[in-house]
Amino acid sequence: MFMLGNLLSPSGALGATENMIEKTIPVPVISARELLVMLDAKESVILFDTRTEEEYEKSHIEEAVHVEPNTPTEAFIERYADTIRNTKLVFYCSVGQRSSEFLNRVQQKCLDAGAIACYNLRGGIFRWYNEGHPVVDSRGATDDIHGYNPLWGMMVEKRRK
């Protein structure tokens, strides 16, 4: 019973989802903490948010570039080839599923175009948010997160005001 209760908590459900994604789509991952260290150190990093426009508009990690999740590989490379050279790329979505799939498609082409490394943000924006890191919308800082759907939305921990 204890294990079931833990699985049904936001952090337990998100952890189980992260593990499932990493087993089925083996791409390099980076934790929210590791990403924060890179950003604080002013490393050359580009964040790509691979959620829908509606999700991105509700909130995203500051300075993230929105890319539709179904963007073809060649179109992505054509658009960003010059930008990604000598840069670390971090892809994210809500929990890491769509961004893992996206990264799996574009990783080799990004590296061929000169990217230093490519990562999927473990647990996506949900993990980032749940660990207390900031998100923004067009007006600035926000506490709003798009839940993707009601089931996935249960993995978002509500912040105390």
Query: Tell me: the pLDDT tens digits for 40-87?
Result: 999 899 999 999 999 999 999 999 999 999 999 999 999 999 999 999
Q: Is the dihedral of CA 39, 42, 43, 47 positive or negative?
A: positive
Structural domain boundaries in the chain = 2-153
pTM over 0.85: yes
% of the chain at pLDDT higher than 70? 93
pLDDT of residue 161: 56
**Which residues does 139 contact at the CB level (< 8 Å), separation at least 6?**
none
Please count the residues of the chain: 161
Query: Are 91 and 102 contacting, i.e. CB atoms less than 8 angstroms apart?
Result: yes
Task: With a cut of 90, say whether residue 7 has pLDDT above it.
Answer: no
The letter for the amino acid at 20 is M
Provide the pLDDT for residue 122: 97
Q: What local confidence, expressed as pLDDT, does residue 1 receive?
A: 36
Whole-number pLDDT of residue 4? 42
Please state which of the ranges 4-13, 75-84, 128-137, 148-157 shows the lowest mean pLDDT: 4-13
If you search the block for the tokens 């647990």, which residue do you land on? Answer: 123
67: closest CA among 81, 55, 50?
50
pLDDT confidence of 143, banded at 50, 70, 90?
A: confident
Average of pLDDT values for 113-130?
96
What pLDDT is attached to residue 123? 95
2-153, which class in CATH?
alpha beta
Per-residue pLDDT reduced to its tens digit, 76-121: 999 999 999 999 999 999 999 999 999 999 999 999 999 999 999 9
**SS3 of 146, please?**
coil
